[in-house]
Amino acid sequence: MAAPEGHFNFAAQPYAGVPTVILGDGPYRDLLVPPSALWLWKDKKWEYLLAESHELDASGGTLTVKIKPDLTWSDGSALTSQDFLTTFYVQFIQRAASWDFITGLEAPDDTTVVVNFENPPAVLERYVLKSNILSTAQYGEWGDRAKAIVEAGGSMDEGDGEKLGTDFQAFKPENVIVSGPYDFDYDTITNTQLTLVRNKTGYGADKVTFDNLVMYNGETTEITSLVQSGDVDYATHGFAPASEKPFESAGYTILRPPVYSGPALYLNQDRFPEFADVRTRKAFAYLLDRATIGQIALAESGKAVVNMVGFSDNFVDDWLTDEVKGKIEKYELDLEKATSLLEEAGWTKDGDAWKTPEGKAAAYEIQFPQTYADWSAAGKNVAEQFGEFGISVTARGLDDKQAPIDVDKGDFEMAMQAWGSSAHPHPHFSFVQDLFVHNIPIAKNQGGKGYGFPLQDVETSAGTVDLEKIVTESGEGLDVEDQKKNVSVAALAFNELLPIIPLFERYGNNPALEGVRVQGFPKDGDPILENAPYADNFVVLKMFRGEITPVEG
């Protein structure tokens, strides 16, 4: 039996976790270490799991979570408010954006957690309620070290903080203490599959209807064959368009939930001065045919980004006024504009080939996760389109676990990583992904600058802005109109400066096999299909409800 790659550090916060965690970065970890609640995207309300209620007191500066009583961990200990505090302090180690808002934490009793803040942040509710709660028995030491830094007024960028960050990246426990309806069957984990077994004392164990869940490890190529053979009941990979008809012939329904994100072109602006020139980035946006990239990658599930504001086109009408929308440049395919902008930035032509402003032949490498069939196809097409324009770009596929680490460390030229966010409908979460996760603020976790776009003193046509501050403020306050103003500033700055270049917006092409082994998958038109499959996954939610059940007989 092959030993599995990866480890079990379920680093608590979902926006900048420790890499290569086994089952740590997808929707199924909610079945192992549930959060307080899951969000119903269509209904715009919470469905509680570990929590029984929460209350945001704007005037008092507190968010209070009441925890369900009598919850237990798989080691037999009680799940209490102390585990919530441990979780939030571990998030501090991971430079979670929630700590832009948090000013203090309290646990008045075993079933009450109080998060203190200065300005009432609309998005803090999401950060708190969606955090996967971790065991103090396993993470208490780390929480205590973080708490000491917080109480001393320190940060993760100096002294004890730097050492704590380095130490935590190396923490690789041998198991996970879980509180949900399932636990790992550790004896059967291999590199190709693992089994989750019912954790009889966990939250939701009385509702879930399966004793065992088999999870297959692998990216699109491996999972495609398992779907075609009928061995998989549900999958969320980005499958190649050519796979869909064989899936349907095998009895699968293709579910197409919006993912609210997709791949973007990242340029190493710290290493290549030509990429730090906004005219170059704009030129690249004009020369790439985004509709073709999306079509090649995912057919009808890959839709070209229209508004280029850093968050899903699905939310633009909710957050931007007609006046703001009128200022958006849509970067529709225009090779003449691309040529003009490059020439203005000092690029020159040598025959059909471009030279950089430094007079070097314009030749780069674009890297992408080879195992993501949609991103791989998109990356190769991006390279082809650049080549047709006269800029030589070599496509290189990497292991999907290594690719984001290389970006964070700055070990890349061009790369494909995510834009937008499945985390929550509020644009704040998309801006965090776009501007923080693989950029200077959070790439520090891997010791690099990511794609190296400075967020302070950013020059825009509307004046000089601090984009890090604007993104934080976009999630502050309970007045939606005030939030819209900051969202608009961030959206227009993103649109004008294109720190990264969104390519297409992904919709699921998720095969679900109804009525063979499993029944209860949502049908077309069910509002739960608006839930993002990688955040508040509708199958996971329906499992907690007891609505996904075995087929009898």
Q: What is the 3-state secondary structure (H, E, C) of 67-80?
A: ECCCCECCCCCECC
Same domain, yes or no: 330 and 461: yes
Give the whole-angstrom CA distance, residue 515 versus residue 162: 53
Same domain, yes or no: 249 and 382: no
Give the whole-angstrom CA distance, residue 77 versus residue 134: 12
Q: How far is CA 518 from CA 13, 385, 453, 465, in A?
A: 31, 43, 47, 52
Same domain, yes or no: 238 and 383: no
> Does residue 118 lie in a domain region?
yes
Residues 6+ apart with CB under 8 A from 158: none
Helix (H) or strand (E) holding 317: helix 316-319
Give the whole-angstrom CA distance, residue 499 versus residue 451: 9
User: CA angle 210-510-548, nearest 5°?
Assistant: 25
Whether the pTM exceeds 0.85: the reply is no
Give the whole-angstrom CA distance, residue 326 versus residue 86: 46
> Does residue 419 lie in a domain region?
yes
> Does residue 166 lie in a domain region?
yes
Give the whole-angstrom CA distance, residue 249 versus residue 252: 7
pLDDT of residue 16: 44
Residue 204 φ then ψ, to 5°? 85, -5
Same domain, yes or no: 343 and 210: no
Give the whole-angstrom CA distance, residue 161 versus residue 176: 25
What total of structural domains would you count in the chain? Answer: 3
DSSP string covering 399-450, please?
-TTHHHHHHHHT--SEEEEEEE-SS-SSHHHHHHIIIIITSHHHHGGGTS-T
Cβ–Cβ under 8 Å, residues 381 and 391: no
Give SS3 for 269: coil
Give SS3 for 55: strand
Give the whole-angstrom CA distance, residue 476 versus residue 486: 9
Same domain, yes or no: 294 and 215: no
Per-residue pLDDT of the chain in tens (553 residues, 90 and over written 9): 334 566 677 664 444 445 566 656 678 999 999 999 999 999 989 999 999 999 999 889 999 999 999 999 999 999 999 999 999 999 999 888 789 889 999 999 999 999 999 877 778 898 899 999 999 999 999 999 999 999 999 999 888 898 998 898 888 888 999 999 999 999 988 888 899 999 999 999 999 999 999 989 877 788 999 999 999 999 988 888 999 999 999 999 999 999 999 999 999 999 999 999 999 999 999 999 999 999 999 999 999 999 999 999 999 999 999 999 999 999 999 999 999 999 999 999 999 999 999 999 999 999 999 988 899 999 999 999 999 999 999 999 998 889 999 999 999 999 999 999 988 889 999 999 999 999 999 888 888 999 999 999 999 988 999 999 999 888 887 788 888 999 999 999 999 999 999 999 999 999 999 999 999 999 989 999 999 998 899 999 999 999 999 998 6
pLDDT of residue 18: 52
Give the whole-angstrom CA distance, residue 218 versus residue 227: 12
Between 373-389 and 290-298, two packed helices, what is the crossing angle to 10 degrees?
150
Same domain, yes or no: 280 and 418: yes
Residues 6+ apart with CB under 8 A from 464: 457, 458
Cβ–Cβ under 8 Å, residues 408 and 395: no
pLDDT of residue 12: 43
Give the whole-angstrom CA distance, residue 228 versus residue 251: 9
> Does residue 349 lie in a domain region?
yes
Same domain, yes or no: 437 and 425: yes
Same domain, yes or no: 254 and 320: no
Domain that holds residue 515: 182-258+507-550
Cβ–Cβ under 8 Å, residues 288 and 382: yes
Give SS3 for 259: coil
Same domain, yes or no: 496 and 512: no
102-109, strands of its sheet edge to edge: 51-57, 62-67, 112-117, 102-109
| Class of residue 334 by CB neighbours under 10 A (exposed 0-12, middle 13-18, buried 19+) | middle
Residue 145 one-letter amino acid:
R
pLDDT of residue 27: 86
Q: Any idea how long the chain is?
A: 553
Same domain, yes or no: 295 and 356: yes
DSSP 28: G
Instruction: Give me 13's structure tokens.
Output: 């916060």
Helix (H) or strand (E) holding 353: strand 353-355
User: CA angle 392-394-395, nearest 5°?
Assistant: 140
Give the whole-angstrom CA distance, residue 240 versus residue 223: 11
Cβ–Cβ under 8 Å, residues 404 and 410: no
Using alpha carbons, select from 516, 514, 522, 518 the residue that is nearest to residue 539. Answer: 522
Cβ–Cβ under 8 Å, residues 274 and 345: yes
Identify the CATH number of the domain in which residue 529 sits.
Answer: 3.40.190.10
Give SS3 for 35: coil
Same domain, yes or no: 297 and 215: no
Burial per residue of 51-79, b for 16 or more beta-carbon CB atoms within 10 angstroms, e otherwise: beebebeeeebbbbbbbeeebebbeeeeb
pLDDT of residue 356: 98
> Does residue 5 lie in a domain region?
no
Give the whole-angstrom CA distance, residue 226 versus residue 249: 14
> Does residue 11 lie in a domain region?
no
Give the whole-angstrom CA distance, residue 524 versus residue 406: 39
Q: Which of 114, 136, 170 is the last residue of a domain?
A: 170
Give the whole-angstrom CA distance, residue 84 versus residue 54: 14
Cβ–Cβ under 8 Å, residues 176 and 72: no
> Does residue 119 lie in a domain region?
yes
Q: Which of 170, 196, 217 is the last residue of a domain?
A: 170
Give the whole-angstrom CA distance, residue 235 versus residue 224: 9
Same domain, yes or no: 288 and 424: yes
Q: Which of 149, 170, 191 is the last residue of a domain?
A: 170
Give the whole-angstrom CA distance, residue 260 versus residue 426: 11
Residues 6+ apart with CB under 8 A from 115: 62, 63, 64, 65, 88, 102, 104, 105, 124, 128
Residues 6+ apart with CB under 8 A from 445: 16, 94, 95, 165, 169, 408
Identify the CATH number of the domain in which residue 460 sits.
Answer: 3.10.105.10
